Amino acid sequence: MLLLPPCLFFMFEDDLSSVVVSELDLRERVTSLGAEISEAYASIPELTVLCVTNGAVVFAADLIRSIHLSLRLDCISVTNYHCDEAGFTPQELAGSLRLDIQGRHVLLIDDVVDTGRTLRGIVSALEGLKPRSLKTCVLLSKEGRREVGEDADFIGFTIPDLFVVGYGLDFAERYRNLSCVGVLRPDLQNPPAWQ
Ligand code: IMP
Ligand code: MG
């Protein structure tokens, strides 16, 4: 039998210099956010939830189980999207969607709103697909960082201007599977092994 060396079982929670949102706080807030969303949409027949991958997958997976409404789920991939550049056309965005959102009540779920450019870009493109209504929900909103767009309609937590990982948020595609949100130790940013 192959025995793995103990170093492969390291507690990578130790890679954080601080916890910004604990696992318990995440669980409680996601449940209450689900209740807020369920109440806000109580009178509609069906909700269409769009999850921005990869960052929002963990949040969305938990959140939709706290939304007690009939809903359809789809994902949008916006990797390498920079609003400073050409951005998305509604047609390009539609290419990553399987569901037709025309005439539907749409809730867009993302991980974090920082400058607001990503969310603003996706919202503008989705508006071109003529949803009946379009609201946004983010797990985290960074204080004092907004450059464009409105705040999200539903916000999990407002946090200070820190680069955070965990609960779906990554650094170089790592740490998405942490159960809390925290700040990565500076000595672990850009280690040579990740190049
Ligand atoms: P914005 O366009 O400046 O609002 O940036 C939003 C996007 O940048 C998010 O969807 C994330 O992909 C990424 N991002 C911004 N801040 C963080 C962070 O603290 N940790 C991980 N990703 C972040
Ligand atoms: Mg993202």
Task: Kindly report, residue by residue over 72-105, the tens digit of the pLDDT.
Answer: 999 998 755 444 455 667 666 767 899 999 999 9
CB neighbour list of residue 84: distance below 8 Å, 6 or more residues apart:
117
Regions in the chain scoring below 70 on pLDDT? 1-11, 79-88, 90-92, 94, 192-195
Q: For residues 180, 186, 188 and 193, what is the CA-based torsion angle, rounded to 10 degrees?
A: 140
Element holding 57 (H helix, E strand): helix 57-64
Atom 13 of ligand 1, nearest CA residue: 112
Residue boundaries of the structural domains of the chain: 23-159
Find out whether the beta carbon of 115 lies less than 6 Å from any atom of ligand 1: yes
Say whether 114 is catalytic: yes
Per-residue pLDDT at 190: 74
Per-residue pLDDT at 146: 84
Per-residue pLDDT at 168: 98
Give pTM, 2 decimals.
0.90
Catalytic residue among 114, 151, 153, 170: 114
Atom 19 of ligand 1, nearest CA residue: 163
Per-residue pLDDT at 87: 63
| CATH of segment(s) 23-159 | 3.40.50.2020
